[in-house]
């Protein structure tokens, strides 16, 4: 797996005004990496991720997955949205295996995969529950399992824990780290939560707003086994402050 974003630009025109949402974005993700883009609201994170998913067309530049240009959405790039997008009429099990159903997998295969991924996200007892019977954190775990069950090359996540409270959010971060280590999935996630970015990632792209650009790339050199001790370490805090400083810098004139 090799994801590459090359010289990506995106403009929106709304009521006669042109908004430059993304300006010359360059970024890459390699097999098995967990990479995070962090930026303030309006820095174009969602737009960037949607272009990678193929849900939006770039104004200029391109996105390559294993050398192939992205022209539209496909099962090779799974996506988890910030809002809850589970199908309300399907049970947890049906939600998780729906991607395989769309791709024409047999009933037996679907059942097997659904069972496996329900186990991965720890929701086996809720196989027959409807989404409305789940808490927010559980819904997002189902959404992650649903995306993973289609066997994507890369998992894209748009602030997946943004709607959760602090405690649930930290639990889910630990859950995501475990999942990533156990399944070896390649993940590109975006967030405005600096701590979350440092805790999860091996590399962080710091984005600035108006126009959305990548200000800096940071390699997060923390132990692979992220836990609460890591969160409290001084190295962790150093990274956090470094990113906060980058986010605070005014936009350089002419940059």
Ligand X SMILES: Nc1ncnc2c1ncn2[C@@H]1O[C@H](COP(=O)(O)OP(=O)(O)OP(=O)(O)O)[C@@H](O)[C@H]1O
Which residues contribute to the site for another protein (CB under 8 A)?
53-55, 72-75, 77-79, 81, 83, 85, 87-89, 98-99, 101-103, 130, 132, 143, 146-147, 150, 156, 248, 250
| Residue placing its CB nearer to ligand X in the complex, 56 or 109 | 56
> Residue 193 interacts with ligand X (CB under 6 A)?
no
- 126 contacts: CB under 8 Å, gap ≥ 6: 92, 118, 133, 134, 138
Token pair of 228, please? 């609460």
Token pair of 83, please? 């809002």
> Residue 23 interacts with ligand X (CB under 6 A)?
no
Applying CB under 5 A, among 43, 46, 97, 189 the residue interacting with Mg ion is: 46
What does 19 bind: ligand X, Mg ion, another protein, none (CB cut-off 5 to 8 Å by kind)?
A: ligand X
What does 187 bind: Mg ion, ligand X, another protein, none (CB cut-off 5 to 8 Å by kind)?
A: none
What does 211 bind: another protein, Mg ion, ligand X, none (CB cut-off 5 to 8 Å by kind)?
A: none
Q: Are 128 and 91 in contact (CB under 8 A)?
A: yes
Token pair of 72, please? 């539209």
| Residue placing its CB nearer to Mg ion in the complex, 39 or 137 | 39
CA distance 148 to 142: 10
> Residue 174 interacts with ligand X (CB under 6 A)?
no
Cα-to-chain-centroid distance, residue 220: 17
CA distance 131 to 108: 23
Token pair of 35, please? 């990479």
Count CA atoms closer than 13 A to 202's CA, side-chain side. 16
Token pair of 58, please? 């770039």
> Residue 43 interacts with ligand X (CB under 6 A)?
yes
What does 173 bind: another protein, ligand X, Mg ion, none (CB cut-off 5 to 8 Å by kind)?
A: none
Binding site for Mg ion (CB under 5 A): 46
Binding site for ligand X (CB under 6 A): 12, 14, 19, 21, 39, 41-47, 192
């Amino acid at each position: 797996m090799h994801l590459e974003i090359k010289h990506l630009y995106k403009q929106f025109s709304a009521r006669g005004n042109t908004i430059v949402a993304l300006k010359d974005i360059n970024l890459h993700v390699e097999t098995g990496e967990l990479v995070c883009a962090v930026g303030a609201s309006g820095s174009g994170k969602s737009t960037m991720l949607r272009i990678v998913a193929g849900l939006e067309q770039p104004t200029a530049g391109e996105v390559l997955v294993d050398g192939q240009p992205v022209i539209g959405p496909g099962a090779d790039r799974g996506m988890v949205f910030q809002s809850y997008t589970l199908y309300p009429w399907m049970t947890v099990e049906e939600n998780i295996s729906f991607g395989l159903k769309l791709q024409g997998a047999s009933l037996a295969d679907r059942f097997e995969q659904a069972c496996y991924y329900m186990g991965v996200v720890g929701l086996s007892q809720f196989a027959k529950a409807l989404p409305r019977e789940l808490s927010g954190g559980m819904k997002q775990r189902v959404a992650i399992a649903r995306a993973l069950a289609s066997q994507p090359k890369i998992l894209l996540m748009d602030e997946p824990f943004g709607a959760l409270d602090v405690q649930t959010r930290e639990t889910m971060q630990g859950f995501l780290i475990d999942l990533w280590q156990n399944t070896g999935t390649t993940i590109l996630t975006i967030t405005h939560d600096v701590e979350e970015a440092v805790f999860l990632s091996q590399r962080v792209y710091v984005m600035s707003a108006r126009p959305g650009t990548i200000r800096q790339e940071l390699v997060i050199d923390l132990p692979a086994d992220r836990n609460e001790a890591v969160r409290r370490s001084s190295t962790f805090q150093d990274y956090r402050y470094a990113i906060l400083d980058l986010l605070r810098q005014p936009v350089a004139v002419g940059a």
